[in-house]
Amino acid sequence: MKRTGKQISSNKLWIAVFAAMIIGCILFIILFKNIGGRTAVIYQDGQEIARIDLSRVTESYTVPLDGNVILVEPGSIRMQSADCPDQICVHQGVLHDAGRIVCLPNRVLIEMEHTKDAPDAKAG
């Protein structure tokens, strides 16, 4: 197994390419992270089921879906339960101002609508 200079440089080249790719992805995530609002939209099978302004929710309630139960609380939304084996959507926790929860087995998507920066807390 003879090592040639050319082979080492091709390894280095690929490392550079993938490093650049990771940096690009991180930049993308940072740049688009703050796009998020306070309106959650629930989809099942690609159909919009509900559109909820979380900042106007005063009392918790649940949205039962086929296979999933979504819990809507003042300012937040989360998957309360799911009948799928992996429970990833339940473990994803609470959505406040950005991000999305996906339940792949039941084809449920909870997505925050994109608006301007949301505050972290409110004084008063």
Helix (H) or strand (E) holding 110: strand 108-112
Binding site for other proteins (CB under 8 A): 1, 3, 7, 10-11, 14, 18, 21-22, 24-26, 28-30, 32-34, 43, 45-46, 55-56, 84-86, 88-89, 91-94, 100, 102, 104-105, 107, 109, 111, 117-124
**Residue 69, helix vs strand vs coil:** strand
> Nearer to other proteins by C-beta: 63 or 84?
84
Q: Of the two residues 10 and 62, which places its CB atom closer to other proteins in the complex?
A: 10
What does the alpha-carbon distance between residue 21 and residue 41 come to, in Å, rounded to a whole number? 31
Instruction: Give the whole-angstrom CA distance, residue 71 versus residue 123.
Output: 26
Report the nearest approach of other proteins to the CB of residue 69 (Å): 19
